[in-house]
């Protein structure tokens, strides 16, 4: 006879296994050890996960820029410092860098295709499409004239993310203005949005 699904048991196992595997902690029932305040504190900390992901992918992208455009260490450090000094969810683009060498705007997406698949969900598609449109046409809350900037959509480099992004772009109304970056080329067209995948 098939065991009945038990929500609390499944969630307990997932939480306990996470602590044990990710932090090397001994096997224990951490779920039962957490008080209401403990769960609230954990929820508060985990709410920053997306911001942490975005920050790490953004820093990896800046180092990618440095390699592709042969930026010197001073310029690269300046770009990273500017990024770290910008508060999460600030108006404008996720990355805005400008100097005598290079003008860049970028949106960073850390979406994972829903249900472990290789296609984004409708809300994910809408968010990415909106960001691509903003890179091309500008944002109401940004004074940047996007025509003067190289434009990038940046994603975490995972096979399922590559597949979902390819599927989205192939069905996008802006697909003629989007280019997947190839390692043997350099982004030189300010009228295009370049798709870049980075790891950290």
Q: Are 71 and 102 in contact (CB under 8 A)?
A: yes
pLDDT of residue 152: 95
Q: Which two tokens stand for residue 53?
A: 């992901």
Compute the distance between CA of residue 79 and CA of residue 81 in angstroms, rounded to an integer.
5
Mean pLDDT by 10 residues, the chain (200 residues): 82 92 92 92 84 91 90 88 83 82 88 81 90 88 84 93 90 84 77 91
pLDDT of residue 68: 87
pLDDT of residue 1: 59
Q: Are 76 and 66 in contact (CB under 8 A)?
A: yes
Per-residue buried b or exposed e for 110-143, using 16+ beta carbons within 10 Å of the residue's own CB: bbbbeeeeeebeeebbeebbebbbbbbebbeeee
pLDDT of residue 83: 87
Compute the distance between CA of residue 38 and CA of residue 18 in angstroms, rounded to an integer.
16
Q: What is the DSSP letter of 28?
A: -
pLDDT of residue 58: 93
Domain covering 49-198, topology: Trna Endonuclease; Chain: A, domain 1 (3.40.1350)
Residue 33, strand partner residues: none
Q: What is the DSSP letter of 5?
A: P
- CA count, 13 A, side-chain hemisphere, 122: 0
Would the pTM count as exceeding 0.75? yes
pLDDT of residue 60: 94
pLDDT of residue 155: 94
Residue 85: how many CB atoms within 10 A of its CB? 7
Compute the distance between CA of residue 183 and CA of residue 58 in angstroms, rounded to an integer.
19
Q: What is the DSSP letter of 82?
A: H
Q: Collapse the DSSP code of 109 into the 3-class scheme (helix H, G, I; strand E, B; otherwise coil) and give the result.
A: strand
Q: What are the residue boundaries of the structural domains of the chain, listed by start? A: 49-198
pLDDT of residue 184: 65
């Amino acid at each position: 006879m098939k065991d009945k699904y038990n929500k609390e048991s499944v969630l307990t196992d997932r939480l306990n296994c996470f602590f044990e595997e990710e932090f090397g902690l001994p096997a224990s029932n951490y779920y039962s050890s957490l008080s209401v305040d403990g769960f609230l504190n954990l929820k508060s900390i985990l709410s920053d996960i997306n911001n942490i992901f975005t920050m790490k992918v953004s820093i990896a992208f800046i180092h990618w820029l440095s390699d592709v455009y042969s930026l010197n260490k001073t310029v690269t450090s300046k770009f990273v410092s500017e990024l770290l000094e910008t508060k999460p969810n600030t108006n404008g683009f996720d990355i805005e860098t400008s100097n005598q060498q290079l003008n860049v705007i970028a949106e960073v997406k850390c979406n994972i295709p829903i249900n472990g698949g290789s296609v984004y969900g409708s809300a994910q598609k809408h968010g990415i499409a909106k960001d691509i449109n903003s890179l091309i046409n500008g944002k109401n809350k940004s004074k940047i004239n996007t025509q003067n900037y190289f434009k990038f959509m940046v994603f975490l480099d995972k096979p399922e993310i590559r597949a979902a992004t390819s599927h989205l772009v192939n069905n996008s109304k802006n697909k003629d203005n989007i280019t997947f970056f190839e390692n043997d080329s350099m982004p030189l067209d300010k009228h295009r949005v370049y798709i870049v995948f980075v790891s950290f």
